[in-house]
Chain A
Amino acid sequence: MSSDNQDTETHSEQVDETQESQDTNSNPVRSEEAKLKAKYPSLGQKPGGSDFLMKRLQKGQKYFDSGDYNMAKAKMKNKQLPAAAGPDKNIVTGDHIPTPQDLPQRKSSLVTSKLAG
């Protein structure tokens, strides 16, 4: 008895849903577009235009030079592999010129993928 009621309830809900979606269906994209234009009025007329594509062609983080790049990489490596640094020393590379005693004994080994674990 109660399950019958539930079924009819769901059915009428579904009917309401379809009617609702039909109304907005005629222009869900248009209303989304209006929303976007309201938020960013300066957005260019041609979204597929050259500015947009140029940005896409030049993806990737820009560094000042190779030194900047290597310093950033050293900082990131030290963060990811804290065990690689010396036992009691703080992370040394990336911030100041290290002394031979400060450096880890060998190049920190690359971490194996977790898929293979």
Chain B
Amino acid sequence: MDGDGDGQSRWCLSQVKGAVDDDVAEADIISAVEFNHSGELLATGDRGGRIVIFQQEQESKNLPQCHAEYNVYSTFQSHEPEFDYLKSLEIEEKINKIRWLPQKNAAHFLLSTNDKTIKLWKISERDKRPEGYNLKEEDGRYRHPSSLTTLRVPVFQPMDLMVEASPRRVYANAHTYHINSISVNSDNETYLSADDLRINLWHLDFTDRSFNIVDIKPANMEELTEVITASEFHPLQCNTFVYGSSKGSVRLCDMRASALCDQHSKLFEEPEDPSTRSFFSEIISSISDVKFSHSGRYMMTRDYLTLKIWDLHMESRPVEIYQVHGYLRSKLCSLYENDCIFDKFECCWRGDDSEVMTGSYNNFFRMFDRDAQRDATLEATWENGSPGCPLKTWRVSAGSRRKRNEIGVDCLDFSRKILYTSWHPQDNIVALATVNNLYIFQEKLN
């Protein structure tokens, strides 16, 4: 992680996507980043409801020291803004989550969701087209039947590759509140969608019905004390899922136990230390993301200041706690005033579960090596340093001092935040989003 101990990491900037000017339109703000199951495709979603998919080029034999680059494969408008007539509220087209389905045939499928509607998109390639029709010219004009003297059989001829995205299913009208998570089940037939108060189970083939499996809405809304913030299916057990709450607890539910999983099977909650309780305690304990390890043995939660790794066999406390940016404790007042304290950071596991990463402010991101118990702070920037050059690690100090690769807490830019991250399922490639740019980092291979 700290590499040679001289402040250099093993990571290098590989690519940056998006405009580099300062004028950022609301629609260009990235809101989702996700590798597919093979790592060949990388999808991004933005506030304008658009999805851009990048594809990794074939491995280049000429450059063995780095993985191949990602280039644009397909782009389409997934969601459009809508108006909720009943509540007179706008339904944003912002893409909240993208989840890929495991690949079954030549086409790729992904689920994308905004606040209210989930869609299943099919991305397929077309590299042949039929030619030699009898009644149509090549440009589409119809020939007069009387001008025909012979008949021929149309044949498929190669054409320039065209990638098409088409919506195959639209799962609508099942959520009163705002959808924050979707998760595909390991059975590859069902998926769950979670909003602030409810979780629904869908079958991928059916859009006209879904089953409610968790409902934490109180009979009297005045008694509302917590909301659902994130939810995920277990990667191997199709009956198990978890959901995190705004109060810092995670509940694991088993769908074999009952149809409505309001009663949890396990409750993962760290006991609160009453001496540290403050006005901010509950807010900073709110779970912003929950992710199972690839092995299915562990679970990681992200709250405002820490990353916690839980052993699913032990509910009483996490087995590992990593401080992401503890120096923000002295800034909580202003972070509350500018709403940054409500930012929802994602986190992700490396393919072999040995490392985890998450984003922070000032375009910093944090890498934690679980085995070596080392961590590093890296910066996502396209200045200082060319692609292929190893990143330098940073330190954050108290006050406003600024030295080489050290920055004071008072100098951090809280408008530049990395909320969305994704780790390639096999290789050491990570993709993350700053406000309007996609960064791809690779670990040096040699």
Contacts and interface: CB of A to CB of B under 8 A. Distances in A.
Q: Do A and B bind each other?
A: yes
Interface of A: 17, 20-21, 24, 28-33, 35-37, 39, 43, 47-50, 53-54, 56-66, 69-70, 73, 80, 110-117
A63 B18 contact: no
Nearest to B220: A50
A13 to B, nearest CB: 9
A81 to B, nearest CB: 11
B246 A69 contact: no
Q: Is the interface of B mostly helix, strand, loop or mixed?
A: mixed
A33 B337 CA distance: 12
8 contacts: A29-B280, A32-B330, A56-B227, A66-B85, A113-B28, A115-B44, A115-B438, A116-B75
Contacts of A49: 225
Interface in B244-298: 246-247, 276, 278-280, 282-283
Nearest to A13: B401
Given A57-B227, A111-B27, A115-B75, 5 more contacts: A29-B329, A53-B226, A54-B221, A62-B88, A115-B17
A114 B196 contact: no
Given A32-B331, A69-B90, A112-B75, A17 B397 contact: yes
A18 to B, nearest CB: 10
A53 B227 contact: yes
Interface in B176-193: 177-178
Nearest to B17: A115
Contacts of A37: 279
Contacts of B337: 36, 39
Contacts of B279: 33, 36-37, 43, 47
Contacts of B77: 110
Interface string B357-401: 000000000000000000000000000000000000000011000
Nearest to B437: A115
Given A48-B247, A65-B88, A66-B83, A32 B280 contact: yes
B235 interface: no
A29 B304 CA distance: 14
B329 A32 contact: yes
Given A33-B279, A114-B28, A116-B72, A50 B333 contact: no
Contacts of B89: 58, 60-63
Interface residue SS majority, chain A: helix
Nearest to A112: B75
Contacts of A64: 88
Interface stretch (B46-54, B207-215, B414-422): B46-54
Contacts of A63: 83, 88-90
B332 interface: yes
A76 to B, nearest CB: 9
Nearest to A47: B279
Given A111-B27, A115-B18, A50 B221 contact: yes
B330 A24 contact: yes
A70 B90 CA distance: 10
B225 A114 contact: no
Contact of A17 (B226, B329, B398, B438): B398
B332 A29 contact: yes
Contact of A61 (B19, B30, B90): B90
Contacts of B27: 111
B282 A47 contact: yes
Contacts of A50: 221-225
B81 interface: yes
Interface in B102-154: 115
A96 B322 CA distance: 58
A62 B86 CA distance: 11
Nearest to B20: A114
Nearest to A64: B88
B85 A113 contact: no
A47 B279 CA distance: 6
A104 to B, nearest CB: 19
Contacts of B18: 114-115
Report the 4 A-B pairs with minimum CB-CB distance, sorted nearest first. Answer: A48-B282, A28-B330, A32-B332, A116-B75
Contacts of A36: 279, 332-333, 336-337
B225 A30 contact: no
B177 A57 contact: yes
